[in-house]
Structures are given as structure tokens and as C-alpha cells.
Amino acid sequence: MLNNIRNIGIIAHIDAGKTTTTERILYFTGLTHKIGETHDGESVMDFLDVEKERGITVASAATKCVWKDCSINIIDTPGHVDFTAEVERSLRILDGAVVIFCAKGGVEPQSETVWRQADKYKVPRMAYVNKMDAVGADFLMVVDQIKNRLGAQPLVLTLPVINEDTFSGIIDLISMKYETYTGVLGDEIIKTEIPAEYQEEADKWRLVLLEKLAENSIELMELFYNNEEIPDTLLIDEARKATIAGNVVPVICGSSYRNIGVQMLLDSVVQFLPSPLDVQAAKAIDLNSEEEINITADTCDFFSALVFKIVSDRHVGKLAFARIYSGSVKAGSYVFNSSKGKKERIGRLVKMHANHREEIDEVSAGDIVAFIGLKDIGTGDSICNENRPVLLESIDFPEPVIQIAIEPRTQSDQNKISDALAKISAEDPTFKISYNKETGQTLLSGMGELHLEVISERLAKEFKIDINIGQPQVAYKETITQSAEQVTRYVKQTGGKGQFAHLVLRLEPGDGFEFVNKIVGGVIPREYIPAVEAGIKQALEEGVMKGYPVVNVKATLLDGSYHEVDSSEMAFRVAAMQSTRDCLKKANPKLLEPIMRLEVTSPEEYTGGIISNISNRRGRMESMEMQGGTQIIRGFVPLAEMFGYSTSLRSITQGRAGFSMEFSHYEERTVSIKE
Ligand code: GDP
């Protein structure tokens, strides 16, 4: 039943307790019988070795669990901002999210980044304030920050009871009962009356809750103003509607580590977060009519699915995780990949649990599954039936902005490396591989230092390749600023058959890469034109300033000539490369560098120091704003100046500021690069 499916993500700033909470969820839903603590490196979700070691969650694995007749697919999302692309792609296929905040740290800058991404995809969410047992935990402070920093409407559903510094239980403002958790792992829930000293506060927050929900419900408003009893089910229904509409964010509290409140969290996921029926239709192009259509799980009967993650598995090969948007598909059937225009067979369908796979025969709309057997498959591909081809809106990925050079230590590793890199890049569309001919090094480009570190560690640990790793470097680009023309004659007469190619090329600033062929009268035969284009592209891969790729160039082949005997594709290709290089030099080339959008959150007294540090880093300010006693400073800074920023921010602010940084755009670099 579609009503009984929840596709949710658990989003959290690193260290807020996402792994611990997920572990507890899997325990209480009966999947794992032993709770693995993250600090022991035994987490069930983090199945990649590297993640275990770092205690962070990188890959978006989908895990299925069952709670009270409801099937919950948990799409794991990474907490580090280097992996925002992972977050984006999981948000795209989720129906709802649980955002975990630390009761001490509250809303951190990175949580804000992810919150904004979730806003972009209109993902209904609820907040879980974890670590209520920690010294300094402050539930209402976090509620306040959700309102003031995130601009959301918190719907407070619980209050923590803290007795002499010990977090002992939770007041449920819907049932108006006090819950304590006993038994070995908090399996047993005892509901009692609200402790007398908390009654007044509970009444106050209950009133806030009723007033907020009554705003949109006439039924509730009437009961409320007539002082009549309000059934819990009505409150839950109204809270659910308001959450799904994005008007409120239910906020509950707990301590996953102490096993307090996790069952309530699961109940809340079922009660307040949307099922596949409750969410907006997915947009798609119907390839038969070429019209845009809306796909909903209950009204469309044709099969459509979107692949959101590829994982290579040692045992079964490629696992393509997909969300089924409509219809159903059986294991063993042929499907059409409408993004690639290819028909392929799905060998098997599996659901991933935390520590085992479940093979299933058929999967239907609203669900999440891994396809096994698709060979030519990538993240963002649409899968459908050949007779009803549809193309679902794909997923946008940001550009990689940082590079490291790697070199295998031995020849045999050299051979293994390209295979391993191809596997990793199939899983991760934000990671790119290139090869520097001059130095013989392989260059890995990614979203941030941590992203590339994780990849190089995977090469070493998972693929057992011994490599030397260079320092991270900025992924610069080159472009041209004026138009230029070049006449190139490539003539070689050495002994037997010579080589001949002659062409006239114009390069000018453009948008992306464009090639225009203006040859008339066959002065260069048609069969050589693709070779000219390939030569131009090849030369653009390595610019003439510092060898970075050249972008935004329009190339026009204006004229040329050929020789009956000596001309060949190769001659034209070489000539085009030479011509492009010469022409680039004349076209006033410029270096482009990635500019990052920076956001620093800090106590006010450090503002001056932070701003002058940003300007020393060639940054420019965008805005400054006070929110609940905290200064938020936003600006743009070249990535090249941001290495070691966290250390210097820590020393300026005595460790009291946080920051987040994401790629914004490329811009001309006006100072020269230090060699
Ligand atoms: P993640 O980075 O968000 O996945 O966070 P983890 O689940 O790995 O937790 C980070 C640290 O916080 C670990 O040392 C956990 O043991 C600890 N932790 C998690 N939940 C709680 C909690 O409820 N209370 C306390 N005191 N510590 C917690």
C-alpha cells in the first residue's frame, strides 16, 4: 500500500548523531540485534571501509526497515558539505526528511546549507533534537534557532524532562503524557502523568501547539474555542497536513545514545512525513508526444523510474538504486533507458537492508529498489518501458573545483588504477578523471579536499593500489577574451607519402563549446571535418597558459585546402590542434578560477577579524546579518585562498565560529599563480 511507504532521508551536520540514530532505528525496527556504536567503527550503515575508519557517512545507501505496518526506506545522506551533490541527489528522490540537530550545537552553518537545499526541492521535514543527555543541552534554544536561522515554523511536539542534569524522559504534547524508556535498550516505554513541576510548561506549549494547528483547521478551532476535548487523532492529522504543506516543522527531542525517544521518532516519521501519495507529481517529458507530463504514483500505470545512485559491489557488480515513480517492473524484464536510448534487461531486483539483501520479484510505484544487471547505466538516468518512453527530470551536479595528482608506485598498479577509477566515477558523477601528458600524472577532480581524500583512500584500501598523492590544487580553467584567426599549413615531405593539411580557423568567446563549419565547395573534403573538430577539442583540453582546459570558445573553420595524395584525417587533426594552440595565444587568454560562496556564523565580537581575513584572501563581502545574537557573514572567496581556512577561522574566533562553503561560479583570476 502506497499509504504505508515512507521514503525518508536523515540529514544532519557531522557529529549530530546521525549514525547513532540510524543504528537505533535499525535496532528498534528489528533488523539488527546488536547496536554498533560509531566510535567503535562498527556501524551497520557505513559499510564502506573508509567510512568506518573516519566515522562519517559518505554514500547514499538506501536501507529498508519496517515500523508498525509501515515500510520505511531510509536514504542515507552525507553530513559533510563536500558531499552536497550527494545530498542533492538524495533530496531529489525523497518524500520527507528527518533533520537531526545536536541539542548543544544547534543549527550549524552546514545544517543551513542542507536546509536550503531541502527548501529547493520542497521536501517536508521534521526535526529531531538529539543528545538531550549531554551537558549544556538546550532544547528550546534549538527550537529558537530553527525559527530564526532557518526561517521555519517549528511545531514543538515534545518537551524534555531533565532531573538534576539527567535527561530522564519526554513529555508528549499530543497525548499529554510523560514517557520514560526502560529495559536494557529502552525497549520498554512507560507512560505516566506529567511530573507536577513540568505541568505549567507543558500546558503553555500545548497551547502554542493548538493555536498553531487551529490556524488552518476550522474543526480544531471550534473545539479549541469551545473548550471541548480535542482527539489526539485530529491533532496528528492536522500536524501531518501542515507538515506536508511545508507550513510547519514538527520538532521532537531525544537521546539516541541513551535510547530515549527513538521509538517516538519512528512514530513521528509514520505520522507526519508524507507517503508517495502525498508529494508533488514528478515532471517528465513524454518522448512519444514530446510534451511535458506529470507523473504520480497512483494515477499513472506505465513504468517509470529514476536511477539516483550507482554502487559497485564486489559480489553482484553494479547496483543501480532507483526510485520507482509509476507502474511496476518485474525481475528479468527488458526495460528502456530513455536517457541513453538503450534497451537492457534487469536481471534481479533487490532491497537493501542494513546487512543483507532481499531479492524481490516485482517492485511498484513509490518504492525504492536496486536494479542488478544494467550495464550502461548512470546516475540520473530514466528507466521505463520501450513502448511508453518518458524522460524524468534529471539531477543537477555541481562542477568539481579541486584536483589532486596521483601516481601509482608500481607498473602493475598503473594497470589497475584506470579500472578502479572508472568504477568510482560511475558511482560518483561529481568526480572526474583526467590525465596530464606532460607530467604523466593522473588528475582527480572533486568537490572538496575531503571528497578527494575519501576517493584516494578507497583506491588504497578497497582496491589495494599503492599510490603517491600530491597536494590538493585548484581546478583552474582558461578562456579567451577576444576573437582571433589563424592560418595553418601542415606540410611534411619525408621520403614516401607526405602529409598535407591547410586550414583557416577563427576562435572567439562563446558559451560552452561550439564548432561551426563554414567550408564551401569541398575545399576541405567532408570526411576530414570531424577530424578538424576533434583536433580543436583535443587542443582545448590543455590550454596555452598553464595547461588547464579552455572553456567557452566558439570555433569556426573558415577555409582551407587539401592534397589528393598527402591529406589524411590524421593530418587535419594535427593541423587543427596546432592551429588552435596558435590561435588561443592570439585571442588574449585568461585564467579562470573557482569562486566559493562562503558563510561564516560567529559571535558578534569577531566580525572585524573575520572580515579582514576574508579580504586578505581576495574575498568580497555580500551581506552581514544578526540572527538571535549571532553574526552571519556571507561573501565570495576564491577557492585558491581557502586552504587551511578552518584553522585560521578557529584562531581568529577561539573556535567559536563555524563556516560553510560551496562552489558558486568561475571568474577571471587577476593575480598570477604562485608556482
Ligand atoms: P554522525 O556524524 O552524525 O553520524 O554522528 P554519530 O552518530 O557518529 O555521533 C557522533 C558522536 O556523538 C559519537 O561519539 C556518538 O556516540 C555521540 N552521540 C550520538 N548520539 C548521542 C546522544 O544522544 N547523546 C550523546 N551524549 N552523545 C551522542
Sign of the CA dihedral 19, 395, 455, 376? Answer: positive
15 lines ligand 1 (CB under 6 A): yes
Q: Please tell me the pTM assigned to this model.
A: 0.71
Instruction: Pick the residue whose CA is nearest to atom 24 on ligand 1.
Output: 131
pLDDT at 180: 95
Residue nearest to atom 25 of ligand 1 (CA): 131
SS3 43: coil
107-131 b/e with 16+ CB inside 10 Å = b? bbbbbbbbbebbeeeebbbbbbbbb
**What's the DSSP call for residue 106?**
B
Ligand 1 and 492: CB distance under 6 A: no
Please state, in angstroms and as integers, the Cα–Cα distance from residue 204 to each residue in 23, 158, 163, 281, following that order: 34, 12, 20, 39
Distance 411 CA to ligand 1 centre (A): 43
**Ligand 1 neighbour 55 (Cβ under 6 A):** yes
Compute, in angstroms, the gap from residue 66 CA to the centroid of ligand 1: 23
With beta carbons less than 8 A apart as the criterion, state whether 395 and 444 touch. no
Task: Say yes or no: CB of residue 111 within 6 Å of ligand 1.
Answer: no
Q: Which cell is 301 given?
A: 500505470
158 CB less than 6 Å from ligand 1?
no
**Within 10 A of 191 (CB to CB), how many other CB atoms are there?**
11
Cα angle at 423 between 422 and 428, to 5 degrees?
A: 95
> Is the CB–ligand 1 distance for residue 43 below 6 Å?
no
- Asked whether 622 and 635 are in contact (CB, 8 A), the reply is yes
Structure confidence by residue, pLDDT tens digits, 213-247: 998 889 999 998 888 999 999 999 999 999 999 99
Q: What is the CA radius of gyration of the chain?
A: 29
Instruction: Find the 46 Cα to ligand 1 centroid distance in Å.
Output: 14
Helix (H, G, I), strand (E, B) or coil at 651: helix
84, 113 contact by CB (below 8 A): yes
Closest CA to ligand 1's atom 9: 17
- State how far the Cα of 556 lies from the Cα of 535, in Å rounded to an integer: 13
Residue 157 Cα to ligand 1 middle (Å):
23
pLDDT tens figures, 361-402 = 999 999 999 999 998 888 889 999 999 999 998 776 667 788
Name beta bridge partners: 640. Answer: none
Q: Is the CB of 54 under 6 A from ligand 1?
A: no
Ligand 1 lined by 653 (C-beta under 6 Å)? no
CA of 16 to the centre of ligand 1 (A): 6
Mean pLDDT of each 10-residue bin along the chain, 675 residues long: 90 85 84 47 47 39 84 77 64 90 85 77 93 94 92 95 92 96 84 95 96 90 90 95 95 95 96 93 88 87 90 78 94 94 93 77 93 88 93 76 84 82 79 74 81 84 84 88 95 81 96 92 94 95 88 95 92 95 95 90 90 94 81 91 85 82 86 71
Probe target for ligand 1 pocket from 10, 27, 38, 450, with the most ligand atoms within 8 Å of CB: 38
Contacts of 333 (CB under 8 A, 6+ apart): 345, 346
Instruction: Tell me the CA–centroid distance for residue 15 and ligand 1, in Å.
Output: 6
Strand ordering across the sheet containing 484-492? 484-492, 499-509, 553-561, 513-517
Strand ranges across the sheet with 249-253: 62-67, 70-76, 5-12, 96-102, 125-130, 249-253, 154-156
- List the grid coordinates of 299: 494515477
Three-state SS letters, 392-421: ECCCCCCCCCEEEEEEECCHHHHHHHHHHH
- DSSP letters for 372-393: ES-SS--TT-EEEBTTB-EEE-
Question: Of 14, 19, 20, 40, which is best to mutate to test ligand 1, by the most ligand atoms within 8 angstroms of its C-beta?
Answer: 20
Cα separation, 12 vs 15, in Å, equals: 8
* Distance from the alpha carbon of residue 102 to the mean position of ligand 1, in angstroms: 9
C-alpha 222 – ligand 1 centre gap (Å) = 43
80 lines ligand 1 (CB under 6 A): no
Distance 19 CA to ligand 1 centre (A): 7
358 Cβ contact partners less than 8 Å away, ≥ 6 residues apart: 64, 350, 351, 352
Phi, psi of 539 (to 5 degrees): -65, -35
Q: Does the CB atom of residue 24 touch ligand 1 within 6 A?
A: no
C-beta of 131 in contact with ligand 1 (< 6 A): yes
Task: Say how far apart CA 163 and CA 177 lie, in whole Å.
Answer: 17
- Spatial distance between the Cα atoms of 232 and 176, rounded to a whole number of angstroms: 10
Task: Fill in the amino acid letter for 29.
Answer: T
CA distances from residue 327 to 275, 295, 299, 392, 610 in whole angstroms, order as listed: 16, 10, 9, 14, 54
- Closest atom of ligand 1 to 20 CA is 7
Separation of CA 14 and ligand 1 centre (Å): 9
Residue type, 225: Y
How far does the centroid of ligand 1 lie from the alpha carbon of residue 182, in Å? 20
Give the model's pLDDT for residue 559. Answer: 96
CA of 324 to the centre of ligand 1 (A): 33
